[in-house]
Every structure is written in structure tokens, then in C-alpha cells.
């Protein structure tokens, strides 16, 4: 059985804490690896390694840093099939979905290749008598990322690519549930020419997380996971003087207006609600049809589609989605479905008892569909993170607008309509960070920023795009004047441009 350690100083090293966690293959339910869980001392060793390597990397001109990213892109594309296979076997998502996971990470690496332009400062000649002012962006030093199980390729690349391109050294603490791909990405970065010590992968659990948050030499922390832990990471990081961008849970709504193309809306709900078994922070988990006629039509079309979903092993090329990530998470999702039944929601499609022939020990579940869900129910309030879609019927547009706006999460929302005025009004007024108009999963492309509002996001800056460059750099502003022709004498008032 494979034993996964850590990646420190440009190579994999064995764990020294004596603690490990099982890594499962969700489609069969078997343990396929043991991953080391780092101690505080092992995390500290990675930080010291990174701190020693970082100054020389920051002094490397940005064009050369960009070339490392370009070579890394070539290597990831070369390894796409093997990376996707590894990702699918540890996570459970299908091979096509695994490739999408990798591709969305690659797009942020492509953005980071523009770092020579992205780090340019500002310059004003003659801002005052003989005075020039310019600014420069400089790396923070050692920074860290704590990433979740559901996107083991994409989110690590969202974090480390811009950070490293800016001249920082990076400590990655991926999910211990599927650590294989992050470890392989670190190896490919070294193959691309990244100096040893600039990207370190420390596998672990809460002990490693707390060590990151308390380490005095880590200047910034990025996190993606549940809202409770996002708030914890943000608060503890801020208490130790670190920058923090922490992204939490979601309850993404899709508003279906009476004039919407219902076939298009159903297609969108099936893909966005059940893709990757619903284990996406941008999954649509609430459908909000407006008016009784729209709701009845939507349900008539939606029920047979949910009943016809194809669930299969990750390697099945025609499966719509595969198993959930662990047996414990599967039970958690089943418990939420049972809770919804007790709360009085109408479970019109029940996929809890689905079994995959030949894979009876795998962590499978069929699609579930609730109708007549009410806002006071826990299945509406809380993130389920599984193949469960709730339909909340709204009597009119104003009620449909209020539902996502008043929910404690504010990650993503979508509206399906043919009415441009309604879409424009909705996009302007809804209290949610990312909005789709006839787009069910409104994940911005790499040169825009990604981030939710309310309890979906903690911190002032978002992920990738221009915000990533701002987050991973500090701005220094220089005001300069040279002696020639300068009037001598002391000045006792604050300098102005008069």
C-alpha cells in the first residue's frame, strides 16, 4: 500500500509524527493509501525551508518566474490523463469531471504567466517640484493555502500559482482525503524549474492547520472549506497578524422565471445540481420556480430526469456522477434527506438506497429531489454537499429575489429568464457575490475574481484574478527628489503639491 508523506525541499519525505490517515478509493470503498499527518515540528521545518529559499526566488525577475509557470503548464497538459485518473480514484468524481477540475486550475496558472505585467506599479513624473512618485509590488515572503477535498487540483493551483508567480514561497496543506494530486503537482513544479523549497506540501489535519495559523513566519493564509472552519481560520489568522482570505459554504439558488426556457432550465439544474455528486461549492442546491404554473411545469420535466441519472464508478465514461468521497460523508447526506422528510418536505425522488452492482462497498447514492421545501427547514438553511436538490416555490419575483438575498450564504446565484429587464434588476439587487444569467454555475474565468459574500467569504480580497495579485503582494510607494536645483532650508509643514 502506498504511503504518502510530505513534499519539502523539492522532494517527498516520510512523515515523522507517527500519525496517518486512510485514503479511500470511493468507487470500491477500499483503502488505497496511508497519508502522513504532520506535527507542528514538521510544519515548522517546511516553513524554515521555504523562508530560506524565498529571497532568491523573489529576486528572480518576473519574466523568468513566468517561464517556470509556462513549463509547468506543458507538464500538466502532458500528464492530464494520469492526473485525472489519480484524482478520480481518490475523490470519486468521473474522469471527465476530474479533467475539468484540472483545467480550471490550469487557467489560473495561465493567468499567472502574465505576472510581469500584473506586478507593474505606477509612476508619476513631476508630482511636485522636482519630485517623482512611483510604487512597486513586492512579495510577502512565506504564505500558505489550506484546500478542500472537492477540488484537489483546481483550488491548490488557484492558491499557489499566483502566490509563487508573485515571488512568494508557498506551504500547501491539502485535504488528507485526496492528497495524491497535490503531491504530484508539486513534483511537476520542480520538473518545470521551480527552486526547491518554494512549493512545499504538508499533509495533515487540525494540528497542521493550527501550526500554519500560529507560525510567525507565514504572512498570509488562503482557505476553502466549510463556513465554520473558514471563520475559525480567518479569526485565528487575523489574531496573529496574517492576511487571510477564507471561503466557506454555500446554498446556491437558481431562480426560474415563468418565461424561462424550461428545457434549458432543467438541463442546467441537472448538471449544476448533481454533477460531481453535488460536492461543489458552486453546485445549485435550491431551485426557485416563480409561480405555480412554472413550478408544476418544472417538476414535471425535472422528476424523470433525476430518476434517469446515471450513477457509476469514476471510470465509467457515461456516468453522470460517481460516488461520494467517504462513507462518513455519504451517511451525512443520507441523514439530511431523512431530516427533510421529518421536516415535512415532499421527497419526490429518493436515491438513498442506490447500490452499484459490482461496487456494493462503494460510497454511492442516487439523486434526491425535494419539492415544497420551506425557508425555515434545515435542509434549506444548511449546506448538504451531496446529490440533493430542494425546490422552494416562490409566488412572485420579489419573493424569489428575497430568498437568496436573505440566506446566510452568499456564494453564487442564477436566474433563468428571457426578460432582460428582470435579469438586469436581479443582478443589480441580489445580495450574493457571483451571479449567473442563464448560466447555472457562475464561476468567473481566471482573470476575474472568485468569491462569495456573507458567510460564504471572510476577508477583503477574492481568489484569482487581480485580487490574487493584491493579496499576495504588498505595495511600497517611493517619493523621490534629487538635490540639484532644490531650495535649501527646513520645512515644518506637511508636504503638499501646492
pLDDT at 190 over 80: yes
The C-alpha atoms of residue 427 and residue 103 are separated, in whole angstroms, by 28
C-alpha grid cell, residue 326: 467517504
- Could you state, in order of their start, the residue ranges of all structural domains in the chain? 2-248+456-478, 252-437
- CA–CA–CA angle 453, 458, 462 (5° rounding): 70
For the chain, give the number of residues: 498
Residue 276 has a CB neighbour count (10 Å cut-off) of: 25
The predicted pLDDT at position 130 comes to 87
The predicted pLDDT at position 287 comes to 98
pLDDT at 96 over 80: yes
The predicted pLDDT at position 487 comes to 61
DSSP state of 153: T
Per-residue pLDDT band at 494 (split at 50, 70, 90)? confident
- 376 Cβ contact list (under 8 Å, min separation 6): none
The C-alpha atoms of residue 191 and residue 53 are separated, in whole angstroms, by 17
Share of the chain above pLDDT 70, in %: 98
* Neighbouring C-alpha atoms within 13 Å toward the C-beta of 327: 11
Query: Using an 8 Å Cβ cutoff, are 368 and 387 in contact?
Result: yes
DSSP letters along 37-49, please?
---HHHHHHHHHH
Mean pLDDT computed over 301-317: 96
Share of the chain above pLDDT 90, in %: 95
Query: Using an 8 Å Cβ cutoff, are 269 and 295 in contact?
Result: no
Per-residue pLDDT band at 492 (split at 50, 70, 90)? confident
Beta strand pairing status for 453-454 and 434-437? unpaired
3-state secondary structure 194-205: CCCCCEEECCCC
Query: Using an 8 Å Cβ cutoff, are 246 and 232 in contact?
Result: no
The C-alpha atoms of residue 378 and residue 274 are separated, in whole angstroms, by 20
Per-residue pLDDT band at 119 (split at 50, 70, 90)? very high
C-alpha grid cell, residue 3: 504511503
Closest listed residue to residue 401, CA positions, set 384, 418, 422, 382: 422
Query: Using an 8 Å Cβ cutoff, are 323 and 362 in contact?
Result: yes
Q: What digits encode the pLDDT tens for the residues 224-235? A: 999 999 999 999
Residue 421 has a CB neighbour count (10 Å cut-off) of: 8
Is 113 one of the catalytic residues? no
Distance between the two ends of the chain, CA-based, in angstroms?
73
Instruction: Say what the pTM is.
Output: 0.94
Q: What digits encode the pLDDT tens for the residues 63-75? A: 999 999 999 999 9
Per-residue pLDDT band at 447 (split at 50, 70, 90)? very high
Task: Give me the catalytic one of 113, 246, 281, 368.
Answer: 281
pLDDT at 485 over 70: no
C-alpha grid cell, residue 212: 500554519
Q: Please give the CATH number for the structural domain made up of 2-248+456-478.
A: 3.40.605.10
- 6 Cβ contact list (under 8 Å, min separation 6): 12, 13, 15, 36, 38, 42, 46, 200, 201, 202, 203
| Class of 252-437 in CATH | alpha beta
Amino acid at each position: 500500500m502506498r504511503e504518502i508523506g510530505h513534499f519539502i525541499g523539492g522532494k517527498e519525505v516520510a512523515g515523522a509524527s507517527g500519525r496517518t490517515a486512510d485514503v479511500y478509493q470511493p468507487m470500491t470503498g477500499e483503502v488505497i493509501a496511508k497519508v502522513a499527518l504532520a506535527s507542528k515540528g514538521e510544519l515548522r521545518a517546511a516553513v524554515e525551508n521555504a523562508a530560506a529559499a524565498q529571497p532568491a526566488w523573489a529576486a528572480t525577475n518576473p519574466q523568468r518566474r513566468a517561464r517556470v509557470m509556462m513549463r509547468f503548464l506543458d507538464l500538466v497538459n502532458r500528464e492530464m490523463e494520469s492526473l485525472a485518473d489519480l484524482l478520480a480514484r481518490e475523490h470519486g468524481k468521473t474522469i471527465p469531471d476530474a479533467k475539468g477540475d484540472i483545467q480550471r486550475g490550469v487557467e489560473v496558472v495561465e493567468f499567472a504567466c502574465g505576472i510581469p505585467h500584473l506586478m507593474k506599479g505606477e509612476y508619476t513624473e513631476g508630482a511636485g517640484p522636482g519630485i517623482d512618485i512611483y510604487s512597486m509590488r513586492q512579495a510577502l515572503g512565506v504564505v500558505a493555502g489550506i484546500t478542500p477535498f472537492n477540488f484537489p487540483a483546481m483550488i491548490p493551483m488557484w492558491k499557489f500559482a499566483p502566490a509563487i508567480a508573485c515571488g512568494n514561497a508557498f506551504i500547501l496543506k491539502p485535504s488528507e482525503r485526496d492528497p495524491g494530486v497535490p503531491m504530484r503537482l508539486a513534483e511537476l513544479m520542480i520538473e518545470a524549474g521551480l527552486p526547491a523549497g518554494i512549493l512545499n506540501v504538508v499533509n495533515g489535519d487540525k494540528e497542521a492547520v493550527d501550526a500554519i495559523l500560529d507560525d510567525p513566519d507565514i504572512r498570509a493564509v488562503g482557505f476553502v472549506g466549510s463556513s465554520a472552519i473558514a471563520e475559525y481560520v480567518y479569526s485565528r489568522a487575523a489574531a496573529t497578524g496574517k492576511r487571510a482570505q477564507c471561503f466557506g459554504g454555500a446554498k446556491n439558488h437558481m431562480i426560474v422565471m415563468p418565461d424561462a426556457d424550461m428545457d434549458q432550465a432543467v438541463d442546467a439544474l441537472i448538471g449544476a445540481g448533481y454533477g460531481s455528486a453535488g460536492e461543489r461549492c458552486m453546485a445549485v442546491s435550491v431551485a426557485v420556480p416563480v409561480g405555480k404554473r412554472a413550478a408544476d411545469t418544472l417538476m414535471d420535466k425535472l422528476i424523470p430526469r433525476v430518476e434517469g441519472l446515471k450513477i457509476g464508478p469514476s471510470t465509467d465514461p457515461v456516468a453522470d456522477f460517481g460516488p461520494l468521497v467517504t462513507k462518513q460523508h455519504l451517511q451525512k447526506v443520507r441523514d439530511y434527506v431523512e431530516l427533510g422528510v421529518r421536516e415535512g418536505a415532499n421527497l419526490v425522488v429518493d436515491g438513498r438506497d442506490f447500490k452499484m452492482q459490482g461496487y456494493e462497498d462503494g460510497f454511492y447514492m442516487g439523486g434526491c429531489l425535494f419539492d415544497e421545501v420551506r425557508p425555515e427547514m434545515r435542509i434549506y438553511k444548511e449546506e448538504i454537499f451531496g446529490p440533493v436538490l430542494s425546490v422552494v416555490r416562490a409566488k412572485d419575483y420579489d419573493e424569489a429575489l428575497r430568498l437568496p438575498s436573505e440566506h446566510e450564504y452568499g456564494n453564487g446565484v442564477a436566474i433563468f429568464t428571457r426578460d432582460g429587464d428582470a435579469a438586469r434588476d436581479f443582478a443589480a439587487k441580489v445580495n450574493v457575490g457571483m451571479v449567473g444569467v442563464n448560466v447555472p454555475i457562475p464561476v468567473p474565468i481566471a482573470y476575474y475574481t472568485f468569491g462569495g459574500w456573507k458567510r460564504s467569504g471572510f476577508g477583503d480580497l477574492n481568489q484569482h484574478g487581480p485580487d490574487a495579485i493584491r493579496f499576495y503582494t504588498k505595495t511600497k510607494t517611493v517619493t523621490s527628489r534629487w538635490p540639484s536645483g532644490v531650495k535649501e532650508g527646513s520645512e515644518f509643514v506637511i508636504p503638499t503639491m501646492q
